[in-house]
A and B are shown apart, each in its own frame.
Chain A
Amino acid sequence: MKTKNKKAAEGLVMAFDVDPRRKVMKKKMSRRSFLKRSAVAAAAATLPLGLVEISWGQSDKRNFTFAYISDSHLTHIKGANFVRNFDKGLKKAVTECNFMSPKPDFVVYGGDLAQLGKREELDHGLEIMSRLRHPVKWVIGEHDYYLDLGQYWQEKIGRLYYSFDHKGVHFVVLNSILTYDSWINKWKSPQERMSNMARLDNPHGSPFMVGDKQIQWMKQDLSKVSRQTPVVVMSHSPLYKIFKPWNFWTDDAEKVQAVLKKFDKVTVLHGHVHQILYNQIGNISFEAMMSTSWPWPYPVSYIKKANQVPRLTVMMNRADPFHERDATGWSILNLDDGRVTNHYKLWENKDRILKYDKKLGYPIDMEYQAPATRIPPQMHY
């Protein structure tokens, strides 16, 4: 078992929808060939998904379904005005979630409900989320936190880290977007702190961390859990290290991973990266959730007026940016005997399913393995 895990880690089983670190592709593609391939992809995308009626077997009591909505970044403009595009993403996800059949046991909100941590934004988000017909488990993101250090969140929503048991699975929710006190206290105002944390490629930024206090709590919490019990950890940032300038990163990730090492089945579900992304490190499977607001990476492409998306310093490829909901979405997760099958609901695109492969010992994309069948990135806008 151990060697298999090690092997998987060495292979670094990562599948980026688009690699954020990859620069512009070398090979040029004509519009015609792009359209041709798109047409093929579009034809495949019309396969009826139906009403997400996934026929999971119900024999095992540990087999259940929940939904995951994340990274809505509701942005307050002025008065009762919010950025329309981002409102629409969350509303669409909530509407679709309500139609899930069978009903999910709960819905997880993965953090970054707000853009700049404002009360208006959190209230607005709670109002939209209140239309959900299912109970919600909340994870906080840095955009919810760095204005008032989570004060309003705790008043309105609840604790920043906690655990619960559901049908034989132990869930741990972490506040993984903490950082060094020296950084937190160096700003002139909470607004300045918030906007600096919101910026990518920020030379004055600071990496996320879970912190020793929380890790201690986690150790304590998990000491009561047997190693055979499946554990699902939900955090906003990935509990491993991907790309520091964008804080796709948790500074003390190794410490957290060490606490989880003794368990047979561990899955970390995280938001923050706004893209399909998965990995296996040792015994831990990592899976990113889609955002409802915008995809990372994205290009500076179709901009008629300021689009309110944070400015990026690196140009990126993505699928057709004409459609606001393109490359965004949400997830339906099924837990079968402690392993996650992640059904990505991808708007304007074909849905994808990520499933843990017991033989290989890591999650695999059920369809998008062969490079020849991948949708090529768009080379022009």
Chain B
Amino acid sequence: MSSFVCYQALLQIDHYEAQEINSYETSGKIELLLSDLENMETGQRGYVITGNANFLEPYNTALPDVSTTFQALQSLTASSSVEQQNLSEMKPLIDAKIADLQNSISLRTNEGFAAAQADVLTDKGKQIMDSIRAIVANMQAEESKLLAARMAHLTQVNATAEQVVLWGSLIGILFSILVNFIIYKFVIGEIVEKPFLDKEKKASFYARSLIEASLDPLITISKEGKMTDVNEAMVKMTGVPRDKLIGTDFLHYFTDPQKAREGYEKVFSQGFVIDYPLTIQSATGKNVDVLFNAALYKDEKGDVIGVFAAARDYTLTEQANEALRSLDRAKDEFVSIASHQLRTPLTALKGYTGMLLDEDPGPINDKQREYLGEIKSANDRMIELITALLNVSRVDLGVFTVDPEMINLKDAAESVLKELESNSTAKKLHMATDFEKNLPLLNADPKIIRMIFQNLLSNAVKYTPAEGSISLSMRKDNSAILISVADTGYGIPEDVQKKIFTKMFRADNARTKDPNGTGLGLYIIKATIEQTGGKIWFESKENKGSTFYVSIPVEGMKKKEGSKRLE
């Protein structure tokens, strides 16, 4: 009987040992997957900044590994429904991340730095990575939980086996005592304990190898804030030997100990921290900016022992970001200078054409007037395009100034309507206004407000057929001023409505009616409105008309210091 129970115990021990090793392997693979994705990101950034394909090497190396590692994880965690669920949530994120990286690389290749940079600046890549990191943290926490449960089972199985042997010994004859003794001493001792210890050592060695292989500093910290274990990367980064690090207060190794303490306390209050920025102070005098990812570290009973933390050197990331910022500044400077240089000859053209049309030097005939009119119109279009490109650059970089003052929206709207009068009259459009009485003054940048009216109303005039109607209304709607411009125009086809605010996008029907538009106006005003706290949206039906709505908070726009004004 006792032999049978011992045999059962042996089988269970084997089972739990296998699971324990499985946990270590799973943790290792999770780290590997994250590291592969980060390597791909590093490659993509290098390539976007430099355009040099050599920088894509880490990207190309890691790409096939991601799928292999993911499949391995699926297989390793087949018995855990929680981990399978985590993986199924992670899969679309990984696919999205790879698609995002591929997109910016292909933009860099096909459309150049500016297009790739605009794509990177959308921040969607970072958001996806944050979501992946959150799932990774969940998976690691689950593995720690599973490991603790498996260790607890092992202890229990060992205890059961021992108890059975003991009771068998007490009630059996000397022979059975002897047999039990032999079973205990030679079977459990030699066959069970030794292989178990061997496997435990193996698992421990495996885990240690993973820890030491990490290029990121890894540390465990006790509840009292003392470091209980570190890897070689931590030794290198601090410049302090391992035996000197262990047992000392971890706060000593940061330039801002108070911030380090707050991060540590945050781990206890919320269970983890993600990308917590700190600077490690090296004994050699070199400081390293790192991002800390840390989670609670528990024993097999689930009691908190301390914190497990991994630090990532992001000096290179910062350098890449600074390089990007510097390129942004250079780009803005270039666009400003180019704009100035291009405008100078256009100004001369505008001036002379105007004087000829004014007949300053003498009368002109109808044909001459027609040709000069064409020159003037082409020249004005060129000036408009330069202005739009300059504004796009300022909006994209967020460097434009917002200089609010109390303005009367009715006056601003009427001034733009007056400018459009000749065009609307020529098309016999019916123009109507509906302004709420006692519309409050709005604290807003007059340039931006004018740009909004100018854009929406001129679009309505351009894209409404002769004898159609356009109405502009303004009213206070709860805590916002609502401006709406409705027309009975060509409308926006349903299948392209989602793209209407995209840079340089023009719907086919708009392109047919007005081949000269830039496709930048709506993009600029949407970005400007949103960056100043407002909203813009529309309703449209093809061949029926469109209504554009702009909502601006009644408290107006906040002042924003920028280097450049919008035009």
Q: Are the chains A and B members of one assembly?
A: no
